[in-house]
Amino acid sequence: MSILLLGFEPGTLSDEQLDRVRAAAPDMQVLVTRDRDQIEAMLDEIEIVAGGFPHDLLPQAHNLRWLQQWGAGADWLLRYPEAVDLDFMLTNASGVHPIPIGEHILAFLLAFARGLHQATCAQVRREWIPQGQHEDVFELAGKTMLLVGVGAIGERTAELATALGMRVLGMRRDPAVGAPGVEAMVGPDQLLELLPEADFLVLTVPLTHETQGMIGEQELRAMKPTAYIVNIGRGGTIQERVLIRALEEKWIAGAGLDVFETEPLPDDSPLWAMENVIITSHYAGLTPLYHERAMEIFLDNLQRYQAGVPLRNVVDKRLGY
Catalytic residues: 234, 263, 282
Size of the chain in residues: 321
Confirm if 235 and 261 have CB atoms less than 8 A apart: yes
Confirm if 231 and 105 have CB atoms less than 8 A apart: no
Q: What residues form DSSP beta bridges with 49?
A: 5, 67
Confirm if 39 and 54 have CB atoms less than 8 A apart: yes
CA 192, CA 172: separation in Å to the nearest integer? 13
CA 101, CA 155: separation in Å to the nearest integer? 11
CA 226, CA 236: separation in Å to the nearest integer? 24
The sheet with strand 254-257 has its strands ordered as: 184-186, 167-171, 144-148, 200-203, 228-231, 254-257, 277-279
